[in-house]
Amino acid sequence: MKCLCCGNEMEKGFIKSSHQIFWGKDNGFWSSGDDIRLAKVTFDTFVKGNSIESFYCSNCQKIIISLEK
Ligand SMILES: [Zn+2]
């Protein structure tokens, strides 16, 4: 994937967490009802943690992810 900002080839990887991962408008520790869940929660992810495929640009220090449907 090419970076949307600079066109550099991005490195594929994963955002990882031992807990659920959300995007929210505030930086509070607990998720609010308006937050967007970035990965589905299954029994497996509940036990092993979550990961989301993402792409990293070392030039811009940006990460791009696609939300799961
Ligand atoms: Zn870039």
Three-state DSSP class for residue 50: strand
Is residue 39 included in any domain, yes or no?
Answer: yes
Quote the pLDDT of residue 7.
97
Quote the pLDDT of residue 69.
66
Give the burial class of 1: count Cβ atoms within 10 A of its Cβ; 0-12 exposed, 13-18 middle, 19 or more buried.
middle
Is residue 5 included in any domain, yes or no?
Answer: no
Work out how many domains the chain is built from and give that number: 1
Integer Cα distance of 66 and 32 in angstroms: 21
User: Which residues are 37's β-sheet partners?
Assistant: 22
Is residue 17 included in any domain, yes or no?
Answer: yes
For residue 67, give Cα distances in angstroms to 27, 38, 39, 59. Answer: 19, 6, 7, 23
Global pTM value: 0.77
pLDDT in tens, the chain (69 residues): 999 999 999 999 999 988 888 899 988 878 778 888 888 778 887 788 888 999 999 999 999 998 876
Is residue 37 included in any domain, yes or no?
Answer: yes
Interval between CA 58 and ligand 1 midpoint (Å):
7
Interval between CA 10 and ligand 1 midpoint (Å):
8
Is residue 18 included in any domain, yes or no?
Answer: yes
Is residue 2 included in any domain, yes or no?
Answer: no
Interval between CA 56 and ligand 1 midpoint (Å):
8
Show the domain range for 25. 11-65
If one counts every other C-beta atom within 10 angstroms of the C-beta of residue 49, the result is 14
Is residue 36 included in any domain, yes or no?
Answer: yes
